[in-house]
Structure 1
Amino acid sequence: MQPPRCCCLLLLLYLFLLSGTWATLEGTVTLRLLHTSTFQNTSFVETEGLALLEDIELGSLDKHTWSIHFHQPWVHPALTRKDWDTIDNMFRIYLLRFSHLINEGAMQKDVPYPFVAQSMIGCELYPNRTSRTFVYVGYNGQDFLSFDTDNVTWTLSQNTDLSRYVLAYLKNHIAFSGRVDVLFSDTCINAMEKLLTYGRAALERQELPVVTVFARTPSPQQLLLVCHVTAFYPRPISVAWLRDGQEVPPGPQLSTGPVLPNADLTYQLRSVLAVAPQDGHSYACRVRHRSLGTRSLLVPWGNSQLLLITALLAGLLGAAAVAALLLLAVWRRRKHQRVEESESRNSTLSKEA
């Protein structure tokens, strides 16, 4: 089943903002639960959610029944029925109290409807087996408040009537904050460790990047060299332009866009370099990615492209020459065999005569 549209938008935003670190299973691994509540009025709230292990969608929350829909076949078997019952009960309580608290604050402080409240809850597991739990709450797309799990306290991210109301409520209900800390810390880390075991193949998946270099001419005085990299996984990647073998430093002539997701859970990236037509330099796009190991992909343009074509033609001619020599050798061997067979038959006939 496909995730809700709102969750897809939330996922795209998360992937757009995600930093390009070289995370591996030996490094830091993060489990995130993204939740969006749209408050249409005082009596109607629409809630949706999405769970991510790194960038893999584990499941989504049905906005009508609040039941979990699994997106990977290995997710449900990873936990026992008791574990899933605990998680289901925990989030129903959290979502009910979250909606009630935000709605009460909006009515008390005359906040205009409609508005959107979001939260990102999760945990990080570090290489030394230590962990951290986090809770971030947003209001209309901006940071609202966060939960400090070390000190079990809430911190304001914006100073408004609504945020102060919510903070005062949470400070007066210390037991609720403690329950949030215990439930999310223990449950999140335990669930993540089991999910890592079952989902290791998905997390370790690697797809080679496909690189295309082409040019555009917005004006006679300018040439835009475009390096389009797509179909790679995992997300972290390094793309650079080389001028005569030297890396082009950052500047106004170089523009590299964000890493964007494809529909098949691979990624794409585009880097554009502005140059003067026929400036006499050779250019190449260099790509480094985990799937390539210690190697790099180097796709040339300009003079270096002619060298590449020459090298390819030379390779093809060399292969053709080798094939011709092999065919000649086979033909000569067969001809020799036919001569020997003919001489053998003639000798036999001579003896019989």
Structure 2
Amino acid sequence: MALQALKPKRSLRSLHYDITVGSLDGFVQQRFIVKVYWNGEHVLHFDSEKGQAKPQDQWAQAILRNRNWEITETTEFKEMGSNLRLTLSHILKLEDQKKASHSLQEMLGCEIKENSIIAFWEYCYDWKTSISYDLKTQRWMVSTSSTQIQAIKIKESWDKDKEKQKDYNHRVKGDICKRLQNLDSWTDLTERTVSPVVNVNHSDPTEENVTLTCWASGFYPRNISLIWLQDGDPLSSQDSQFRGCVLPHANGTYETWVSIKVPQGKEHMYSCRVEHNGKKSTYPVTLGEHG
């Protein structure tokens, strides 16, 4: 990425790529979208139908003006979209998905805070957390709450694919993290932490069970933990907690959710604990929003 350092380094910096493709009636669509977030700001947007990357703000336009970023970034985005289309095609074949529409979202990036570097690479199928790469074990991981068969099948396939592991070291740990290390803050960006707005609610009961959902939105930085508690104790990993993806908003903040099914009439026994940027808060099961 042809960008130039302008200011001293911030305590928290991040570079995040978000690529999305879709399918209809078993066929992967040609169109794909790529969004780039730098330090929580949506800086570049690529729509394959338009064929070129565009800066998303006046200050981004000023920094990128008269540079060759349009060629270099557009080429990279097209490669990202092509690879993700192939991945979605592979998933559809594994599941023999011939009907309905599906989406696949790839999120990869790097965060640097002081001397700590955190890289991530995740895939979300139909907007639910499916599979992510674990740097410590160097293996693909399916969420403990995931019951999606396709996530397990794709993990088994990728665990055998040594090239996929090389992709992580090259694309994420290598290219993106090194790229971020060479970037400094832009003049118009300031250090910020945005706490999540949390909404805990429940659905209408079915078969004597109630679905409880804990939503967190509008937060930055990206890392967050949502855990269901029963009588104040965290539920164990084998409990059926269903998790959504951590999705970016256009304003640079994020949203996510976690849900669980509980017996009707026992809702009062459950609460949601949210941990973000070192702060912990617990929310009971009520209708309404909590800041």
Task: Provide the residue aligned with 1:55 in structure 2.
Answer: 40
CA–CA distance in 2 between the matches of 1:67 and 1:53?
Answer: 19
Unaligned runs of 5+ in 1: 1-23, 206-233, 239-256, 268-353
C-alpha change, 1:69 and 1:86, in structure 2 (3 Å) is closer
CA–CA distance in 1 between the matches of 2:139 and 2:193?
Answer: 34
More strand by share: 2
C-alpha change, 1:168 and 1:259, in structure 2 (3 Å) is closer
- TM-score, structure 2 as length reference: 0.55
Note the C-alpha offset of 1:258: 6.2
Query: Does 2:169 correspond to 1:185?
Result: no
Query: Does 2:145 correspond to 1:160?
Result: no
In the TM superposition, what are the counterparts of 1:227-306 in structure 2 within 5 Å? 234=192, 236=194
Q: What are the superposed Cα offsets for residues 142-165 of structure 1, whole Å, 9 maximum, x if unpaired?
A: 100001133332111224332133
CA–CA distance in 1 between the matches of 2:64 and 2:179?
Answer: 8
Identity of counterpart residues, as a percentage? 11
Q: What are the superposed Cα offsets for residues 259-297 of structure 1, whole Å, 9 maximum, x if unpaired?
A: 599xx9699xxxxxxxxxxxxxxxxxxxxxxxxxxxxxx
C-alpha change, 1:265 and 1:84, in structure 2 (3 Å) is closer
- Please give the secondary structure, in 1, of the residue aligned with 2:154: helix
Q: What are the superposed Cα offsets for residues 228-261 of structure 1, whole Å, 9 maximum, x if unpaired?
A: xxxxxx45379xxxxxxxxxxxxxxxxxx96599
Task: Provide the residue aligned with 1:107 in structure 2.
Answer: 93
Query: Does 2:79 correspond to 1:93?
Result: yes
In the TM superposition, what are the counterparts of 1:112-151 in structure 2 within 5 Å? 112-128=99-115, 130-151=116-137
Task: Provide the residue aligned with 1:297 in structure 2.
Answer: none
Task: Provide the residue aligned with 1:69 in structure 2.
Answer: 54
Task: Provide the residue aligned with 2:283 in structure 1.
Answer: none
CA–CA distance in 2 between the matches of 1:67 and 1:164?
Answer: 35
Q: What are the superposed Cα offsets for residues 282-332 of structure 1, whole Å, 9 maximum, x if unpaired?
A: xxxxxxxxxxxxxxxxxxxxxxxxxxxxxxxxxxxxxxxxxxxxxxxxxxx
Q: Which AA in structure 1 matches 2:194?
A: P
C-alpha contact (below 8 Å) 2:44/2:54 kept by paired residues: yes
CA–CA distance in 1 between the matches of 2:176 and 2:60?
Answer: 14
Note the C-alpha offset of 1:80: 10
- Please give the secondary structure, in 2, of the residue aligned with 1:203: coil
CA–CA distance in 1 between the matches of 2:217 and 2:95?
Answer: 39
C-alpha change, 1:171 and 1:89, in structure 2 (3 Å) is farther
CA–CA distance in 1 between the matches of 2:157 and 2:72?
Answer: 26
More helix by share: 1
- Please give the secondary structure, in 1, of the residue aligned with 2:184: helix
C-alpha contact (below 8 Å) 2:21/2:84 kept by paired residues: no
Q: Which AA in structure 2 matches 1:139?
A: Y
Q: Which AA in structure 2 matches 1:165?
A: K
C-alpha contact (below 8 Å) 1:121/1:135 kept by paired residues: yes
- Please give the secondary structure, in 2, of the residue aligned with 1:47: strand
Q: What are the superposed Cα offsets for residues 50-75 of structure 1, whole Å, 9 maximum, x if unpaired?
A: 11113211111113155311124555
CA–CA distance in 2 between the matches of 1:81 and 1:176?
Answer: 32
Task: Provide the residue aligned with 1:43 in structure 2.
Answer: 27
Note the C-alpha offset of 1:176: 2.6
Note the C-alpha offset of 1:81: 6.5
Task: Provide the residue aligned with 2:17 in structure 1.
Answer: 33
In the TM superposition, what are the counterparts of 1:185-204 in structure 2 within 5 Å? 185-197=173-185, 199=186, 201-204=187-190
- TM-score, structure 1 as length reference: 0.46
Unaligned runs of 5+ in 2: 1-7, 197-215, 221-249, 254-291
Task: Provide the residue aligned with 2:263 in structure 1.
Answer: none
Higher Cα radius of gyration: 1
Note the C-alpha offset of 1:44: 4.0
- Please give the secondary structure, in 2, of the residue aligned with 1:136: strand
